[in-house]
Amino acid sequence: MTHTHIIGAGLAGLSAAVTLAAAGQVVTLYEAGPAAGGRCRSYYDKGLGARIDNGNHLILSGNAATFAYLAQVGAADSLIGPNAPLFPFFDVANGARWNVRPSTGVLPLWLFQPSRRVPGTRTAEYLKLLALRFAKPGATVAQALGGGVLYRNLLEPLAIAALNTPPDQGLASLMDAVVRETLAKGGAACLPRVPREGLSESFVDPAVAWLAARGSQLLTGRRIAAIRQQAGRAVALETVEGIVALAEADSVVLAAPAWVAADLLPGLTVPDAHESILNVHFQTQAPRPAGAGFIGIVGGTAEWVFVRQGIVSVTISAANRLVDRSAGDIAALVWPDVRAALRLPGAMPPVRVVKERRATFAATAAQNARRPGARTALHNVVVAGDWTATGLPATIEGAIRSGRTAARLLLTR
Ligand SMILES: Cc1cc2nc3c(=O)[nH]c(=O)nc-3n(C[C@H](O)[C@H](O)[C@H](O)COP(=O)(O)OP(=O)(O)OC[C@H]3O[C@@H](n4cnc5c(N)ncnc54)[C@H](O)[C@@H]3O)c2cc1C
């Protein structure tokens, strides 16, 4: 039977594994960390005495590959969110609050209802989004969309969240890819979804259990140090524990982060500039913002605030500008925004700041041009990861799609 060795058990590796196992292949996943999940995982934080996610992750109902993956591993109902698209916002600068509520149909009828739009914007302004589609190659989000109330109070926060890159650098065509698969398809493709329990409980643990039930193996704490090559193919994987020899029919999916992939496969061009994401977890009870369970903040440092049982988690994307500041400084900077947005009383509660320094590749034109396809120079090695040429920015949807693409390539060989 064909055996595929998958390096890295993040969502790209897991998605490749699920696709291959569904086709009857035996799969072994080698994961350097203590658990699967990579940049999308939950863990117990000793300081807070609570289980937290490494960072808030928001999924939209238009993320088709993500929902197909969840359905396949039996976790489709592990995400929660409102029945109608709802994006609440708060402006730190003037205390204003508003909800953006796209209508569910394909026709954007909501644009004709002021109560569903960003206050102070006109219907025609939303046509601005088409500028993403017709932007010059290499144009940035700010060049395509920049300026005005709609930009400040909706498009800019959405672009920062989707690209994790400052809009004056973020590539308009990558933002367009996100808009095409969500907003352009109507509100039914924009339902915000978050895990009911945690990232691992939705995206990781069900897949690992599903794979185990089909005879596939996850080896954690197993870092691949090198891929031995001979005559245009991989012949062995080197680990600290020893050498894994590959049989003639064996294949490899290299689903590690870009910089690891470049080390393991010299000559592979990969994105080499990254942006950070900060997540600040405050241990406090707070009222869940109606419907969505999160609130977008403009005019402050915090960007998205998610309310869970006993934890309020704040996301700051495109955070290279802040990442070197101390955890205490960052928490102190963010807490006033959170207090105001959620109308919380009192002093700052216990807090954990999680810094993901290389959260995603920088979604710039130059970095996007460095993303490789799944094929490599080695006949039996393919690559996967949110940093490969998925056509999307670095997202769960991109990671899952890349794993599926890599697996299908092997299955058709
Ligand atoms: C804080 C944060 C917030 C985010 N928010 C969102 C969001 O709201 N919506 C969204 O769609 N996306 C979001 N993302 C992006 C999303 O998490 C990633 O796109 C996705 O998880 C990437 O998966 P991956 O499998 O490509 O990479 P990774 O998750 O990095 O997986 C690679 C795996 O390879 C392992 N590995 C590394 N070296 C080796 C080795 N030598 N041998 C074996 N294993 C190795 C790593 O330990 C890791 O488990 C966010 C990311 C972060 C960090």
DSSP string over 164-233: -S-TTTSBHHHHHHHHHHTGGG-GGG--EEEESS-HIIIIIHHHHHHHHHTT-EEEET--EEEEEEETTE
pLDDT at site 288: 86
The atom of ligand 1 lying closest to the CA of 63 is: 11
Domain boundaries, the chain: 3-33+221-272+364-411, 103-189
Residue from 57, 218, 353 whose mutation best tests the ligand 1 pocket (most atoms within 8 A of CB):
57
Choose among 391, 382, 384: nearest CA to 363.
Answer: 391
User: Tell me, what's the pLDDT at 100?
Assistant: 96
pLDDT digits (tens, 9 = 90+) for 50-89: 899 999 999 999 999 999 999 999 999 999 999 999 999 9
Half-sphere exposure of 58 (CA within 13 A, CB side): 29
User: Mean pLDDT of all residues in the chain?
Assistant: 96
Ligand 1 atom 29 nearest Cα: 38
Q: How far is CA 340 from CA 94, 287, 409, in A?
A: 11, 13, 50
User: Is the C-beta atom of 184 inside 6 A of ligand 1?
Assistant: no
Rg of the chain over CA atoms, in angstroms? Answer: 21
Any atom of ligand 1 within 6 Å of the Cβ of 308: no
Is the pLDDT at 380 greater than 80, yes or no?
yes
pLDDT for the residue 84: 93
Give the tens place of pLDDT for each residue, 198-229. Answer: 999 999 999 999 999 999 999 999 999 999 99
pLDDT score of 214: 96
Query: For residues 183-210, b (16+ Cβ closer than 10 Å) or e, as one string?
Result: bbbbbbbbbbbbbeebbbbbbbbbbbeb
Kindly state the average pLDDT of the residues 346-359. 96
With tokens 């609050």, the residue in question is 97
Contact status, residue 352 vs residue 52, Cβ threshold 8 Å: yes
| pLDDT at res. 231 | 97
| Under 8 Å between Cβ of 206 and 398 | no
Supply φ then ψ for residue 62, to 5 degrees. Answer: -75, -5
Ligand 1 centre to CA of 407 (Å) is 18
Overall CATH class of domain 3-33+221-272+364-411: alpha beta
pLDDT band at 292 (very low <50, low <70, confident <90, very high): confident
Q: What is the pLDDT of residue 2?
A: 82
Share of the chain above pLDDT 70, in %: 100
Band the pLDDT of 290: cuts 50, 70, 90: confident
Ligand 1 atom with minimal separation from the 36 CA: 49
pLDDT per residue over 10-59, tens digit each? 999 999 999 999 999 999 999 999 999 999 999 999 988 989 999 999 99
Mean pLDDT of 123-137: 95
Specify the pTM. 0.97
Ligand 1 nearest-atom number relative to CA 399: 26
- Range 276-301 average pLDDT: 93
Cα 345 to chain centroid distance, Å, stands at: 32
**Average of pLDDT values for 217-244?**
97
> Could you tell me the pLDDT band of residue 146, with boundaries at 50, 70 and 90?
confident
Asked whether residue 188 carries a pLDDT value surpassing 90, the answer given is yes
Sheet holding 192-195, edge to edge: 59-60, 192-195, 79-80
The pLDDT of residue 39: 97
Query: Does residue 285 contact residue 343 with C-beta atoms inside 8 Å?
Result: no
Question: Is there an atom of ligand 1 within 6 Å of 223 CB?
Answer: yes
Residue 173 has pLDDT above 80, yes or no: yes
- Residue 395: predicted pLDDT: 98
pLDDT computed for residue 413 by the predictor = 85
